[in-house]
Amino acid sequence: MKSRWTSRLVGAVLSVTLFCSSLMMSATQAGAQEVAPNLQLAVKSAILVEASTGKVLYKNNPDIPLPPASMTKMMTEYLVLEAVKQNKIKWEDQVPVSEYAFWVAKMSDSAGVYLNMGESHAVKDLYKAMAIASANDATVLLAEKVAGSEPNFVQMMNKKAQELGMTNTFYATSSGLPANELGQYAPTANNGRDNVMSARDAAILARALIRDFPDALEYSKIPRLTFREGTANPLKKANYNWMLPGLPNEYPGVDGLKTGYTAEAKYCFTGTAIRDNLRLITVVMGTDSEQKRFVETKKLLDYGFSTFKLTKKLDKGASIKGFETAPVSKGVELEVPAVIESDLNDIGKIGQDGKVEATVEFNKDLVAPIKKGDVIGKVILKGETYEYLSPSETQKSGINVVAAQDVEEASWIRLLFRSIIQFFGDMFSGATGK
């Protein structure tokens, strides 16, 4: 009898143990699912990022260098917009069609606006053709306009990629066309290397493009382009981004950014959409069809908008508690009021309050004169739970702290008297043992 009860007791204990273990395993799996949702993306790599903070909300093989095809053009867009901003070129500048651009225009299966020798087009019209119609001929012509030649421009592209922290990127052409398809115009200085870019790097570039040049979205959101408008032979083309209004995969809030396709890259897309002040950046690479890249992007956007919210922690111009001023040397004043340059936002899951604490890391050895608006530090976020796009931004919000007023340089007499007062103050403190 005793043996029978012992056996039953052991069996009951084992059952309870197995039940508890099952519950714990389910909870663990649920937690893992919460951190890394299974979106079942049919891609080689993908990433989802909140634009204002640069925080990664989802990733799938984000650091594999892959052929980016025409997503390469985002870097060309950046450098053209930078050249316009720096007055190196002007929107209204007329650019004659070069032999190289004409050669590219005649390539079979190459997206373009069929540039002809003897034509000239304004920089703005060429930019629209590149950003909307993914025109390879317009792209190489812009590269030549900015840098004199495509090889020179490609050097600028790779330099800018390094500056932006794009560690898994190499550019061989301005358009994303494979180097081995360019015949007599193929680059010769790359030792056989061709265009590659990781999903993370594509997101870094997209974020920099819309942060530094918000007007880029004014072009990328245009669903249809008429090139040579008002002439005898206008050319009408739809944007390759079918998620824009009125196109086959329309998705509310999408206003960019760049598609890409080559036989090796397959179908790629760097997208961006905004809802309720929440802007998401998506990248999918290596999908199997033109439609599939938008289907997979929709999964990312649906997940992002249904799961996360952006909360404003502080308004632009506010100070961080405990860091209201920064020390200044050789100034009329010894401190300068410190405020944030833009709104401080935080991304978190809907229904969950974040526990992020904001502090400030001031620049070392601030010396007068300092002008109002000068960057004097960076916001640091503690208690962070999300990965940042770039390692250099880890634990930083990406928001500058700036001077709220001017601090003039002190005269030598003022500095002399200040040093004398400091000297005697130190002596007095030493004498009293303080």
The residues annotated with a catalytic role in the active site are: 70, 73, 134
Percent helix, strand, coil in the chain, to 5, is 35, 25, 35
CA-CA distance, 171 to 76, in Å (whole number)?
Answer: 10
DSSP state letters, 187-206: -SSSTT---EE-HHHHHHHH
Q: Which H or E element spans position 292?
A: helix 290-307
- Cβ contacts of 336-339, under 8 Å, gap ≥ 24: 336/366, 336/370, 336/376, 336/403, 336/404, 336/405, 336/407, 337/403, 337/404, 337/405, 338/362, 338/376, 338/377, 338/401, 338/402, 338/403, 338/404, 339/401, 339/402, 339/404
Partners of 49 in beta bridges: 56, 281
CA-CA distance, 406 to 256, in Å (whole number)?
Answer: 39
Using alpha carbons, list the distances in angstroms from residue 50 to 98, 151, 171: 40, 34, 26
For residue 37, the tally of other CB atoms under 10 A from its CB is 13
Q: Where on the phi/psi map is residue 72: left (φ > 0), alpha (ψ -120 to 50), or beta?
A: alpha
